[in-house]
Amino acid sequence: MKLKLATWNINSVRLRIGLVAKFVETFAPDVLCLQEIKCTDGDFPEKKLRAMGFTHLEVKGQKGYHGVATLARVPMERVETRDFNGTSEARHLAVRIETRGRKAPLVVHNFYVPSGGDEPDPEVNPKFRQKLDYLAAMSKWFAAHDNKPANRMVLVGDLNVAPLETDVWSHKQLLNVVSHTPVEVDHLARLQAAHGWVDVMRQHVPPEERLYTWWSYRARDWRASNRGRRLDHVWVTPALERAAVTMQVVDEARDWEKPSDHVPVLTEFDFGR
């Protein structure tokens, strides 16, 4: 079974529903995971998204902030949503997708990790403490999973950490900037090790090459300055290490009218491999 899966921090799905339509028409994802939808479940533009071919929708919304949604052209069902650090914020959604010819289903985890504010000091910045606690709770939960060699899971979303030196425009200048500090990178590494997660994006783009998915709105010409960060990720469990056959960062979306500051990441999977 082949499946095209996209992840995108849309930064308000209602404001940018036209961009979602453009992306879907151009790239035809089978599954679309959105973060920062910024609306409640009741205000989610379900009819417009169903008209794009997404016959299955699962939403975990929140008024004005956060929120995640997973949309699919193929049958899926909600598994759960978890509150990883007791804030009741809508930041996680897991769905199960049946893959033909396989006994074990595919579980897709859609995450929006807290951004962490501006000051990278958990003693003075509660938002940064929340971020570190959230990542630690994710690590603990995934480490406790049984049957790790057989688990078939995909983890996508805005993890709000750029771990590698080549995931940011300047390693030296961003060492003390939230998203690339050593303590965040360490927390993300622990999360990755918790279930042996494989970094799909770096399977397709060597670690020594620069790779970004986010560019600040502050840049007058984002492409010319190219001061980006890789905040969005696609991971798979070891059982699916060979399943991702292509990966594309759709950076052209950053040039669309009134864009999100994040761009979609599109991965094609072949679950028969």
Give percent above pLDDT 90 in the chain.
Answer: 94
pLDDT category at 134 given cuts 50, 70, 90 is: very high
pLDDT category at 78 given cuts 50, 70, 90 is: very high
Q: Which structural domains are found in the chain, ordered by start? A: 2-270 (3.60.10.10)
Mean pLDDT of the region 234-246: 97
pLDDT at 102: 61
pLDDT digits (tens, 9 = 90+) for 29-77: 999 999 999 999 999 999 999 999 999 999 999 998 999 999 999 999 9
Separation CA 118–CA 124 (nearest Å): 11
Separation CA 97–CA 261 (nearest Å): 29
Mean pLDDT of the region 223-235: 97
Contact 236, 106 (CB under 8 A): no
pLDDT for residue 19 is more than 80: yes
pLDDT at 103: 63
pLDDT digits (tens, 9 = 90+) for 162-211: 999 999 999 999 999 999 999 999 999 999 999 999 999 999 999 999 99
The DSSP string of 145-187 is -S-TTT--EEEEEE-----SGGGBS-HHHHTTSTTS-HHHHHH
Q: What is the mean pLDDT of the chain?
A: 96
Separation CA 108–CA 17 (nearest Å): 23
Among candidates 141, 172, 165, which has minimal Cα distance to 155? Answer: 141
pLDDT at 1: 87
Contact 116, 126 (CB under 8 A): no
The DSSP string of the chain is -EEEEEEEE-S-TTTTHHHHHHHHHHH--SEEEEE---S-GGGS-HHHHHHTT--EEEEE--SSS--EEEEESS-EEEEE---TTSS----EEEEEE--TT-SSPEEEEEEE-----S---TTT-HHHHHHHHHHHHHHHHHHT-S-TTT--EEEEEE-----SGGGBS-HHHHTTSTTS-HHHHHHHHHHHHHTT-EEHHHHHS-TTS---SEE-TT-SSHHHH--EE--EEEEE-GGGTTTEEEEEE-GGGGGSSS--SB--EEEEEETT-
pLDDT at 217: 95
pLDDT at 99: 77
pLDDT at 101: 63
